[in-house]
Every structure is written in structure tokens, then in C-alpha cells.
Amino acid sequence: MSSDDCYDKAVDLLARRPHFQRELERKLSARGFGSDEIEAACERLTARGLLDDLEGARGLAAGAWRRRGYGPLKIRAELRRRGVADEVIDTIVREGADSEVERAEEVARRWQSRSDRGRDALARHLTGKGYSGETIYEVLSRLDS
């Protein structure tokens, strides 16, 4: 197989859904392409703006924050699971830090509107969504006042 075949397969995979570089490398390797072919294909894709882990991570994080109410710990874990580099993950989490408490408060208010369980259950819910203890404490304090 040639590097052009590898590139074509990578484009085909990206056309189906966005991938992070590490995900794409794994899939191409599983299809029998060598590391040199994969590296060349990823370089071409990056140069053409078709493969960008930072923008992909921004999109995933925005969706996870907006639709699922996930906090930074859960987003960090998901990005790490997909093979995103630590420096990209740190950038994404830093970018969302300013509104973390507000997002957590919104998640808490939505949860409270559907549940009459107490503060402990709410704290567990926020923990499961990926918010830190400090953020949860701040949200509970805001809701109490």
C-alpha cells in the first residue's frame, strides 16, 4: 500500500466523522498501513487543515459542556481516552475555567427541577458530571443563599 492509499483512507475516515490524530493513527494501523505512511498522511492532513486536535477538542468540549453538562474532569478524561495530547487538554480545560461554576450551577438547577432529593445527592450528581469538590462547594453555597 502506498502513502496515497493511506491518505485516501484517512480522508475517508474523516469524512465520516471528526477524528483526533491518535484515533486516526490507530485506525490506519489496524488497516495495515505502516508508521511512515501514517505519519506522512497525518502531516498532509494537518497541513491542509483537515486534522486539528485543538479544534477537535474545542468542539468536543463545547458539546459536552453545553449538551451534557460535563465538567472539566470528565472532559479531560474523555479527551485523554481519545489520545489527545496533554498540552491540548490543558488548553481546553483552561479555556473553560472561567465559566465552570456557572455551568455547574446551571446543571444543578436543571437537576433540582427534576429531583427533590437533597444536597448530598446533588453533590454526587455534580461529581459524576466531572466537577471538582471546590466547584461543587461553591455551587451548593450559591444555591443555599
Q: 42-72: per-residue pLDDT in tens?
A: 999 999 999 999 999 999 998 888 888 999 9
Work out the pLDDT band at 88, boundaries 50, 70, 90.
very high
How many other C-beta atoms are found inside a 10 Å radius of the C-beta of residue 120? 9
* CA 117 to mean position of chain CA atoms: 30
Displacement of CA 124 from its chain's centroid (Å): 21
Average pLDDT, rounded, for the chain: 92
Largest CA distance in the chain: 65
pLDDT of 24? 95
Count Cα atoms within 13 angstroms, Cβ side, for 46: 14
Q: Collect all residues with Cβ–Cβ distance below 8 Å to 106 and sequence separation of at least 6.
A: 69
pTM of the predicted structure, to 2 decimals:
0.81
